[in-house]
Homo-oligomer: A and B are copies of this chain.
Amino acid sequence: MVNLITIEQKILKKNGDIALENRGELDRNGVLGVGLVSAPGSGKTRLLERTLGALAGQARVAVIEGDVQTDRDAQRIGALDVPVVQIVTNGTCHLEARMVQEALPRVALAGLDILFVENVGNLVCPSSYELGEHLRVVLMSTTEGEDKPLKYPAMFRRSQALVITKTDLLPHLDYDLAEAKRFALQVNPGLLVFETSCRTGEGVAEWTRFLLDRLRDLRASRTAAPS
């Protein structure tokens, strides 16, 4: 067992090193990297579709899709005429930095503003693998119950923003939105929280503005940094 732990730690360390290289690559190109993580079915791809529509004409965007099997999500994104690279993990339960590193040459970073990386649907394992994004965003749908931040705290702790999805369903659910937000902020007081419905479009403008603000911050810090 000691051997296994040693090897795993080495692999995690390597992952962290590659994540830093990915971050460097994004920084050099002034591209904001945004990672999306959540349980399966929380609406990552749906949020992306809405976001890409809202960003059209305001930012040049590409997407890296991670899935255990199938390229269904990539097909949905590709239908919006946005450059997309699909990573099929073939059973692996999370994306790793090296997978993103292999995908990066296939998105033309030089011409981009924002790169989204949609992780495998999994609220546990992806939290242990930095990919190099500037922002990690966790999604939680109103149909999942209020207590997910308490039960899967690592993912909420290692994210900077929380997008609550499917708010249009609230009238039909026994869901306490205030309690869900309280639980999330209890686990990570620094979380920025957005309430969205991709069906009605509620909250999408606010979320998109946040992304554009972070892009502007990244570009400003780049200009200010000594060359």
Contact = CB atoms under 8 A, between A and B. Distances in A.
A143 to B, nearest CB: 4
Interface string A149-162: 01111100000000
Contacts of A121: 39, 123, 151-152
B124 A41 contact: no
A164 to B, nearest CB: 12
Contacts of A68: 124, 151-154
A125 interface: yes
A93 B124 contact: yes
A41 B141 contact: yes
Contact of A69 (B41, B72, B143, B153): B153
A41 to B, nearest CB: 3
B144 A41 contact: yes
A199 B173 CA distance: 9
A123 B152 CA distance: 14
A68 B153 CA distance: 9
Interface of A: 3-4, 7-8, 11, 39-42, 67-70, 72, 91, 93, 120-125, 141, 143-145, 147-148, 150-154, 166, 168-169, 172-174, 199
27 contacts: A39-B40, A39-B121, A40-B151, A41-B143, A41-B144, A41-B148, A68-B154, A69-B150, A69-B152, A70-B151, A72-B150, A72-B151, A91-B124, A91-B154, A93-B122, A93-B125, A121-B123, A121-B151, A121-B152, A122-B122, A122-B125, A124-B125, A141-B143, A143-B166, A169-B169, A169-B173, A174-B199
